[in-house]
Chain A
Amino acid sequence: MDDTLMITFAVTGFVFVAVNLFMAYALVRYRYRPERRARYEPENRKLELWLTGLTTVGIVIMLAPGLIVLADFIHVPQNASVIEAVGKQWQWSFRFPGKDGVLGNTKPQFISFQNPFGLNPDDPNAQDDVLITGSELHLPVNQPVQILLRSYDVLHDFYVPHFRVKMDAVPGIVSTLWFTPTRAGRFDLACAEYCGIGHHTMRGAVYVDDQVTFQNWLGNQSTFSQTNNATTSRQEDNLIQQGRLLAEKQGCLGCHSIDGSPSAGPTWKGLLNRTETLSDGSTVVVDENYIKDSILNPNASVIKGYSPIMPAYDLSDQELDALIAFTASLSLTDNSATNLVSVGKQLAEQQGCLSCHSLDGSSSAGPSWKNLFGKTENLADNTTVVVDDHYLKEAILNPSATIVAGFSPIMPSYQFNDQELEALIAYTKTIH
């Protein structure tokens, strides 16, 4: 390809210089003098034929190598690995075929918050597909790779300037390009087909690693089946809510606190998997079974230091599960503050928030997060609001109701759970 480029430079450069110099010379040499007459020569067949012939030769010299290289570009090598890149406003996601070497089927109808790639959950090939969000791709060096391009919404273009390749991602079809990265390093990924107001922020990176680093990275990514199971945690959310309601209704919270403060019974905060000493001196790890027993038959295993006054509760298995889930959730909130912030940061990167919200104050599709928390904002409906926890939660769960004046109402809603919302808000608070 570089040869074609150099040839083109040489041929066209020569023509450009020749035409301009010739003209400049003629303008000086043949400037108007009243005693002169111009030459009367309507045409010169021979000269014109020569010029046509030479031009045609020049064109062929440029075109022929170009077409030869094009043939290479079209034919994907046999040993190319196949991955998928998906563009959506305004971020990139990637998918590797996993151990079975086959990418699973997708359909737009399957796209949801839980299933952002739109994978068919009934397709066995999809289960082991490795999913990467957050616009950062890793590739092994010296390995030809064919990228299948998809888009969810509008035209995008996968463009790695250093590799000098690009191809549009078109919704409704799968387009393709292939290349072999020959140098390790980090290379910018940019979108090269105008795709809306976030086009210039739709960026990412391609990391080219040696085999070992690459395999390590790939192994650390989650597969479709794993994220699919993570969706069951959404169902668990409901379970946690159920457990909380039960705890309130049945009066558990009359004796057990959830914030660590002492009460008639042991606090539930951080309870799960804690090692406790029983009244008979033995120790026990507070696991699911112990909790179940304590509810159904409390006085068999009272914790040392507490009176045996807890009544028995005849609850169903489902109710027990709910209470356990609720208890478990109280243990998880034992994250330190910085852990929460880093979780929030990760979420913001992976969910594409940063495609529209800048961190440095610059104007973008959405309001900048710099110094956002505590700011007074004017909303599109002419009310003013102070950006606090409550507003941020609303803005994430139900953005169209809380649009800031001057911005388009295009933010999709994100159905994060309470934990994720807390993490994001914690992260937002740190951005100055």
Chain B
Amino acid sequence: MAAPYQEAIPLHEPKSFWTKYVWSQNHKVIAIQYTLTAVAVGLVALVMSWLMRIQIAFPGSVAFIDPSTYYQLVTMHGMIMVIYLLTAIFLGGFGNFLIPLMVGARDMVFPFVNMLSYWAYLLSVLVLMASFFVPGGPTGAGWTLYPPQAILPGTPGSGGGIVLMLVSLILFIVAATMGGLNYVTTVIQARTLGMSMMRLPLSVWGIFMATILALLAFPALFVGSVMMLFDRLLGSSFFMPAVVSMGKMLDYEGGSPVLFQHIFWFFGHPEVYIVALPAFGIVSDIISTHARKNIFGYRIMVWAIVCIGVLSFIVWAHHMYVSGMNPYFGFFFAITTLIIAVPTAIKVYNWVLTLWQGNIHMTVPMLFAVAFVSTFTIGGITGLFLGNVVIDLPLSDTYFVVAHFHMVMGVSPILVVFGGIYHWFPKITGRMLDDRLGHLHFWLTFLGTYAIYFPMHYLGFIGMPRRYYAYEGYDFIPESAQDLNVFITVSALLVGVAQFIFLYNLAHSVFKGKSAGSNPWNATTLEWQTPETPPRHGNWGNKLPVVYRWAYDYSVPGEEKDFIPQNQPPRRGNLEPTGTPATHNT
């Protein structure tokens, strides 16, 4: 089977420091650039969360946190974490690094656009940071940026802050679109010989589906941001009804605040799946690798990812049950929301069933993957409470919602980020992360995040509202709630400090970590089969890999080793056990 795949192709490798590490079109370098930027800005948002928690537990103790500053912290923490950290690291970080390697390509199909995508992302981060330095400071409208308050006095940053936020989001969307086109096209067009769609590892499926969601959903945020900018800068009234603000009747008339909410959440709900689906995929691969067992029900896992992706576009108004929208919508959206729980639950069962009768190495990546399943289960379950309209009524806008979305967005995907970095660090750098520090980091983080968010559900049940600067003077909140708040804050501060163990481990291991070899986990997927580690420019040397099997040939009966790499040809004459008929199609 002579093929152009197997001829040496001249590869134009960059030579200077600047073209190798700064203006790089190499997907691996771009992935690291995305990851470092996302982690840096995420640390800023992490510190913001400490300040918020200190204010809640010890009101008034930090003099400069007045209500205005507090609400700015709430807003920037949320927006940075959701968009600039989670979305950027899963798509721009993991997506960029893994996709070409896992599909057997040399790079993304549009490397120059890929490079531009990172610089547009960096620019969006800088514009966002600039909002700290304009008069009035950054916007304090909540990460959801609801009008009319986002652009009216009485909300911090309604001057320059909201403008810069919206501009920054627009730039981010440009970056995400450029990157997204790359990821989708590379998966569809650049798979190597033998890599059919149903032989792709689930990491690729997760990121692929998330990217499709991003390409379809981000335009809604784009449009909403532009319309709000027009309302703010040009005095249009897309979202602005007639209002009397601070005693003065303003010039707006006829707009609809609820319209913004529909537009925002049409983006916002798929957005959370843009974060969750890559996490789902990565967890599947980590569990099966470290349990030495194929992922249970691969085909259903793929279908579940696709169904969740499609359904995610018809559930958005479950964020709007108390928005004053037509109450009959509640019926439709409650039904679709609870339907989406079915494929999600199936994925949870399949992860757990993968562990069943496996041969499980309790490595640090495995620990993080298992922790993901546990925390995502509780987070998803509280979503069932909120998805049912009448149960949402007392719980909406309380700490129950805060606990829910932190569990599903803040805890579980971040655990996957950690797990993924521990898992792929050896491939990226050729060195292992320190194992004992990894275990310490894991236990502090896992137990700590449960300590933070488990009690928070109770606070929501007793009705403690969210986005409150202080809680004094309410009869319905018992004194003991404040004790819980202190407990949560202390836990949060400890978990925050524990992350420095991870950062130290990263920095130290890049230079001094144990040498890893090319496939320290004995994994089957293509990225571990590169001729060099770390992979050099062009990834595969002279010959592109050829794929003969699905991604999960672990513990195949009758084989000497407990794994078979995807590019290992079948032995002549031997009958190999079939996975499913689909996995052996080319």
Contacts and interface: CB of A to CB of B under 8 A. Distances in A.
Given A51-B346, A63-B334, A197-B155, A22 B352 contact: yes
Interface residues of A, number: 94
Contacts of A190: 465, 474
A59 B359 contact: no
A175 B241 contact: no
Interface in A143-170: 149, 152-155, 157, 159, 161-162, 164-170
B389 A70 contact: yes
Nearest to B357: A39
A412 B247 contact: yes
A406 B67 CA distance: 12
Contacts of A59: 338-339, 341-342, 384
B242 A30 contact: no
Interface in A1-42: 1, 4-5, 8, 12, 15-16, 19-20, 22-23, 26-27, 30-33, 36-42
A56 B293 contact: no
Nearest to B152: A154
Contacts of B474: 188, 190, 203
B418 interface: no
Interface string B141-185: 110001011001111100000000000000000000000000000
A37 B562 contact: yes
B334 A152 contact: no
Interface string B37-72: 000000000000000000000011000001110010
A362 B149 contact: no
Contacts of B462: 161
A192 B373 CA distance: 32
B577 interface: yes
B-side interface size class: 35 or more
A420 to B, nearest CB: 16
B394 A412 contact: no
Contacts of A153: 148-149, 152, 154, 243-246
A165 B393 contact: yes
B268 to A, nearest CB: 16
Contacts of A412: 246-248
A4 B391 contact: yes
Contacts of A172: 241-242, 254-257
B148 A43 contact: no
Interface string B369-386: 010011001100110110
A180 B548 CA distance: 68
B377 A168 contact: no
20 contacts: A5-B391, A8-B384, A8-B385, A40-B556, A42-B296, A55-B341, A59-B384, A67-B331, A108-B249, A109-B249, A111-B249, A154-B152, A154-B243, A171-B257, A172-B257, A173-B256, A362-B60, A365-B154, A408-B68, A413-B247
6 A-B pairs with the lowest CB-CB distances in the bound complex, closest first: A172-B241, A412-B247, A175-B324, A161-B463, A196-B154, A164-B394
Given A42-B579, A198-B67, 18 more contacts: A31-B362, A32-B359, A36-B359, A37-B562, A42-B294, A47-B353, A62-B384, A66-B391, A154-B149, A165-B394, A168-B324, A172-B241, A173-B256, A196-B149, A196-B155, A199-B469, A408-B68, A412-B247
